[in-house]
Structure 1
Amino acid sequence: MKKWLFTPLIILFGVVLLYAQKVEFTEFDLDNGLHVIMHQDNSAPVVTVGVMYDVGGKDLGGDNNPNRTGFAHFFEHLLFEGTENIQRGEWFKIVSAQGGSNNANTSPDRTYYFETFPSNSLETGLWMESERMLHPKIDSIGVETQNEVVKEEKRMRYDNSPYGQFLFVINENIFEKHPYKYKNIGEMEDLDAATLGEFNDYFKKYYAPNNAVLVIAGDIDPANTKKLVTDYFSEIPKGKDIVRNIPSEDPITETRHAEFYDPNIQIPAIIAAYRTPGFTERDSYVLNMLSTYLSDGKSSKLYKKLVDENKQALQVAAINFGQRDYGFYALLALPLGETSLETLKKEMDEELVKVQTELISERDFQKLQNKYENQFVNSNSSIQGIADSLATYYLLYGDVNLINNELEIYQSITREDIKRVANKYLNPNQRVEIKYLPKNTNE
């Protein structure tokens, strides 16, 4: 009798926990096209103000000039230089003086700026983001300053970091036409060659209210917040509609081969990369589950086989890298001892073939479902995280309510789906095989 009671209690607790994670939000639009999302949570006196712009590394400068890469990432830095009413060097001082924190990040598809404050500083956050959108300082001093900052970031994170070029090498070989093939951080010679006029034109094109979403999450009064948003943002002029003529990629139908030499490494790596659909497609969710099955944790198939049992690899991974237009799926491994790269590729292929020819076990499938349910429960554990999710689901996925029901997509995936998707996208004739090799700097 006690056991019979205990089981429903566990189920009930799970239902209550999932229900408790539901994120309530309201939305409205200003006449200038700015979309606004508000989430009220008065459990702690904290508020996050964020603006996500529909501009990323794929949006080149100079009217999509391939010699003007890295503009969106550059603006991630440049738009902290100040505005007509915020003096140069004062941005971070204002935030810290209010007891807040702030940051920004850029992907190939979007740029996100945000501040987190004590809730009594909400108006400060809205004022600062409206200043950034309305009249930032884009002058030669700021451009020169941030050019050096970006160069140092590139040297530290990529050029002088072991395996720091992994992502770039995959994108450069997976994509032939799409601007995903260019580095998100850009080429430094492109930024050096750009004119001040090109930077100003780029801002006018992409950093307009109708190309952005404003999110406010936390300890707010919705009616008052809506009034403040209207006061600070409604007078910002609407920008021109953006038309992107991004070319489509032709399917990969024959195995491609590439090599890259990294002076920062001593151990080579093998990469097998496949082009996949954008992250809004259901198949991309299936590929997420497949990557978890193959390489998430020490009990995963590839780790257990190549690292634990066979002692053939130092590291192994299966990654589904999501982007809006196309993603990529990559298998990669670093050899241990005298193991060859060809052997690692063969061993990884054997695990893929198993997924393509057999259904994964019910036990493994249930473990996958449990992991994604747990991730969903924990995904909105902070106000800052909720703000980011709300903006992302609106701007990139076109469905804000995915913040509450994305788990349903994972729950709808079957073992048959995993087998089908592996057969559809992950075949040898659909991939680029890349040898990532040490480079002798004395040559």
Structure 2
Amino acid sequence: MITVNRHILKNGLRIVHSEDITTQMVALNVLYDVGARDEHPEHTGFAHLFEHLMFGGSINIPDYDTPVQNAGGENNAWTNNDITNYYITLPRNNAEIGFWLESDRMLSLDFNERSLEVQKNVVTEEFKQRNLNQPYGDVSHILRDMAYKTHPYRWPTIGKEISHITNATLEEVKDFFYRFYAPNNAILAVSGNISFDETIRLAEKWFGDIPARDIKPRNIPQEELQTEERRMTVYRDVPVDTLYMAFHICGRRDSGYHTFDLISDILCNGRSSRLIQRLVLEKKIFSSVDAYISGSLDSGLFHITGKPCDGISLEEAEKAVWEELENLKHCSVEETELEKVKNRYESEQIFSNINYLTVATNLAFFELIGKAEDINNEVQKYRSVSHEQIAKTAKECFINSNCNILYYKKASS
């Protein structure tokens, strides 16, 4: 059981805290409620660009990394379609440095053309390296564009195309910052060897005077129900053909989310899971296969991907996957099989939440989707999933009219 303390500053900044005296470190995790889904369709990649810009210098601190390193700390950040997340770890005696650094870049960045050009070049090179010049690098662009027709999940976090980043102006960047990077659109999670009273004192001192901003309500177009199968075949310079399948599922806050997560583990988590045991080890249809869910806040995707063995066509590979999905619908999952995946999840949660930084990150996320204390209820939510729920969910989800299928083929030389 993780003990959670909470406080809200007058400017709307939500603070969640959990003390851990077994470590000599402190973690600060700042979650901003902004991601790629908040971008304009013609100005994508901005949330990810800001992940980089936030390290480029703020109004009073020209260099973020040097004070962190001098204080014996580490920091990093990541962005997805839903959120932007920054974290910093420091020895407990230097914890105030974290509050100072994070508050100053929340107050205002040092907006200038030089910094913007530097970070635009960095992001552009990342786009080229990961998505244009790497085998299978454009899969996310293709699959998202197939699966989503109206929702902004139709582009990945990196952006829809490079020109959206290279053409970004300083005024557009400033506008994006002041619309989303505000105390009343953020959650500060603090964990490690620091008391709740000290956390509140430092938060009030460093964040208390940052003005709240006018955060407009989201107006995201909801994706319409997919009613027919969508297929595409592409040819690329890749080593082997690969099968990609994506089914629409519920969002992260939905009660059915935990069922989908368990199904992905039943299908493909460990050597004894169904797809690996039957399609890789026994039938040797795939050399590798995977199944996972996107975990998106809005309606997400259930992914199945695999590389067929030599001599196996993508059509044969796809047929084998459908057969396994039909088995899941009509043959009850054995008690030992279901208990195994539940036990695996519980053990992973116990071990991950031993780490003070993981606790801070998780507390911020659970506060976003509900309340931080819900972190203590997750295992029970997985435990409560029944065989009947799994079969019912599989029957509703794994149908042709809900499926997007991509054949990613090796181009002929």
Superposition TM-score, scaled by structure 1 size? 0.91
Question: SS at 1:302's partner residue?
Answer: helix
Counterparts of 1:274 and 1:51, CA distance in 2: 32
Counterparts of 2:109 and 2:19, CA distance in 1: 29
Question: SS at 2:166's partner residue?
Answer: helix
Q: Which position in structure 2 is the counterpart of 1:343?
A: 316
Counterparts of 1:316 and 1:83, CA distance in 2: 45
Q: Which position in structure 1 is the counterpart of 2:236?
A: 262
Question: SS at 1:332's partner residue?
Answer: strand
| Alignment pair present for 1:36 and 2:43 | no
Q: Which position in structure 2 is the counterpart of 1:410?
A: 382
Map of 1:175-190 to 2, 5 A cutoff?
175-186=148-159, 187-190=161-164
- 4+ residue stretches of structure 1 with deviation over 4 A? none
Counterparts of 1:377 and 1:77, CA distance in 2: 32
Moved more, 288-297 or 241-250: 241-250
Map of 1:32-431 to 2, 5 A cutoff?
32-60=11-39, 64=40, 66-87=41-62, 90-186=63-159, 187-263=161-237, 265-395=238-368, 397-431=369-403
How much has 1:321 moved relative to structure 2?
Answer: 1.4
Q: Which amino acid in structure 2 is aligned with residue 180 of structure 1? A: Y
Q: Which amino acid in structure 2 is aligned with residue 242 of structure 1? A: K
Q: Which amino acid in structure 2 is aligned with residue 436 of structure 1? A: Y
Q: Which amino acid in structure 1 is aligned with residue 241 of structure 2? A: P
Distance change >3 Å, CA 261–CA 245, structure 1 → 2:
farther
Question: SS at 1:282's partner residue?
Answer: coil
Q: Which amino acid in structure 2 is aligned with residue 194 of structure 1? A: A
Does the Cα contact within 8 Å between 1:59 and 1:71 map onto a contact in 2?
Answer: no
Counterparts of 1:402 and 1:166, CA distance in 2: 34
Q: Which amino acid in structure 2 is aligned with residue 139 of structure 1? A: N
How much has 1:241 moved relative to structure 2?
Answer: 2.6
Moved more, 147-156 or 129-138: 147-156
Counterparts of 2:4 and 2:44, CA distance in 1: 36
How much has 1:34 moved relative to structure 2?
Answer: 0.6
How much has 1:58 moved relative to structure 2?
Answer: 1.1
Does the Cα contact within 8 Å between 2:180 and 2:215 map onto a contact in 1?
Answer: no
CA deviation vs aligned residue, 1:262-300 (integer Å, no higher than 9, x gap): 33x121111221111101212121011111111111111
- Structure 1, gaps ≥5 residues long: 1-21
Q: Which amino acid in structure 2 is aligned with residue 256 of structure 1? A: R
Does the Cα contact within 8 Å between 1:316 and 1:331 map onto a contact in 2?
Answer: yes
Q: Which amino acid in structure 1 is aligned with residue 154 of structure 2? A: K
How much has 1:346 moved relative to structure 2?
Answer: 0.6
Counterparts of 1:100 and 1:388, CA distance in 2: 16
Q: Which amino acid in structure 1 is aligned with residue 409 of structure 2? A: L
Does the Cα contact within 8 Å between 2:124 and 2:165 map onto a contact in 1?
Answer: no
CA deviation vs aligned residue, 1:242-277 (integer Å, no higher than 9, x gap): 2211111111111111123333x1211112211111
Counterparts of 2:198 and 2:230, CA distance in 1: 58
Moved more, 25-34 or 222-231: 222-231
CA deviation vs aligned residue, 1:388-410 (integer Å, no higher than 9, x gap): 00001111x11211211100100
Does the Cα contact within 8 Å between 2:21 and 2:192 map onto a contact in 1?
Answer: yes
Q: Which position in structure 2 is the counterpart of 1:3?
A: none
Does the Cα contact within 8 Å between 1:314 and 1:334 map onto a contact in 2?
Answer: yes
Does the Cα contact within 8 Å between 1:318 and 1:332 map onto a contact in 2?
Answer: yes
RMSD: 1.3
Counterparts of 1:400 and 1:299, CA distance in 2: 34
How much has 1:94 moved relative to structure 2?
Answer: 1.0
Does the Cα contact within 8 Å between 2:59 and 2:105 map onto a contact in 1?
Answer: no
Q: Which amino acid in structure 1 is aligned with residue 316 of structure 2? A: T
Question: SS at 2:280's partner residue?
Answer: helix
Does the Cα contact within 8 Å between 1:79 and 1:137 map onto a contact in 2?
Answer: no
- Structure 2, gaps ≥5 residues long: none
Moved more, 158-167 or 128-137: 158-167
Superposition TM-score, scaled by structure 2 size? 0.97
Counterparts of 1:188 and 1:399, CA distance in 2: 37
Question: SS at 2:372's partner residue?
Answer: coil
How much has 1:84 moved relative to structure 2?
Answer: 2.1
Counterparts of 1:261 and 1:57, CA distance in 2: 28
Q: Which position in structure 2 is the counterpart of 1:23?
A: 2
How much has 1:202 moved relative to structure 2?
Answer: 0.4
Counterparts of 1:325 and 1:379, CA distance in 2: 25
Does the Cα contact within 8 Å between 1:313 and 1:334 map onto a contact in 2?
Answer: yes
How much has 1:413 moved relative to structure 2?
Answer: 0.3
> Among the aligned pairs, what percent are the same residue?
34
Q: Tell me which structure has the larger Cα radius of gyration.
A: 1
Q: How many residues align?
A: 412
CA deviation vs aligned residue, 1:403-423 (integer Å, no higher than 9, x gap): 111001001101111101001
Q: Which amino acid in structure 1 is aligned with residue 33 of structure 2? A: D
